[in-house]
Amino acid sequence: MGSATREQAGSARGAAVYRTLGAELGRVRRLGTDLPRVLDVGGGSGTWAVPLAESGCAVTVVDTSPNSLATLARRARDAGVTDRVTPVQGDVDALADLVPASSADLVLGHGLLEVVDDPVAALAALATATDAGGAVSVLTVGRYGAFLSRITAGRPVEARHLLTDPEGRSGPADPLRRRFDTRSLHELTSRTGLLDVELVQGDGTLDSWAPPSGDGEIPARELAELDALASAIPALGEVAPRLHLLARRR
């Protein structure tokens, strides 16, 4: 898998994230909420929103792109969940004007923090939209996974930049503003003053390392089990292409 594909954190749907979100939504339902309220910020095309709506959630999607929201509407219609998906055009900077505070049981910011102007303000906005005791899910590109992908692709100059640049960028032409590691995600969350970290894990930890199809291929179920084990080990999760954080609203 190429580095460009792997770094599309917002559109990636790794098993580790699905397991965690499923457990979180199960917790919400056990508290007596039949239709969990989900807010997906920056998820315009519906990669996450439509499957969540299919699972029985009411999902509001905020995105700046009308084209992405049109794709969302088409996907929701095809899946028969139009009544459970609400598209809103807007930016995370104006989130307080777009959705009420404390209005969601679960807020997603997937593929968001690496591109916004101010990641602390963006994460605080996500937290403010979350009901007390609810969760914020952040999926972002990992610095060390990106480093390893550049090494295996034979791009040492970019690899060096990824380790030495304060924001984890690969050079002046890098389309991302920043990349994260576990420490920087913890620090970012702490700076909001609104969230407590419950989990930081790798997502897609084995994406780069599993043998290609036809070359000693590992059965899908066994590979998924191995990925779950690897993602939960901090040292291995740290070099995953994506890092997933789940934080609880105080």
CA distance 234 to 215: 28
Give me the DSSP letters along 30-95.
Answer: HTT-SS-EEEEET-TT-TTHHHHHHTT-EEEEEES-HHHHHHHHHHHHHHT-GGGEEEEE--GGGH
Rounded to an integer, what distance in angstroms lies between the CA atom of residue 133 and that of residue 250?
Answer: 6
Percent of the chain with pLDDT over 90: 82
Cα–Cα distance measured from residue 114 to residue 175, given in angstroms and rounded to the nearest whole number = 9
Closest to 59 (Cα-Cα) out of 88, 27, 30: 88
103 and 39 Cβ atoms separated by less than 8 Å: yes
Q: Per residue in 66-89, pLDDT tens? A: 999 999 999 999 999 999 999 999
Give the pLDDT confidence score for residue 5 in this predicted structure: 38
Beta strand ranges found along 100-147 (DSSP E):
104-110, 130-141
Tens of pLDDT along 202-238?
A: 998 888 787 765 556 788 888 888 988 898 899 999 9
What does the pLDDT read at residue 11? 74
| pTM for the structure as a whole | 0.93
- Comparing 5-19, 22-36, 82-96, 183-197, the range with the smallest average pLDDT is 5-19
* Beta-sheet pairing, 104-110 with 195-203: unpaired
How much is the pLDDT for 92? Answer: 97
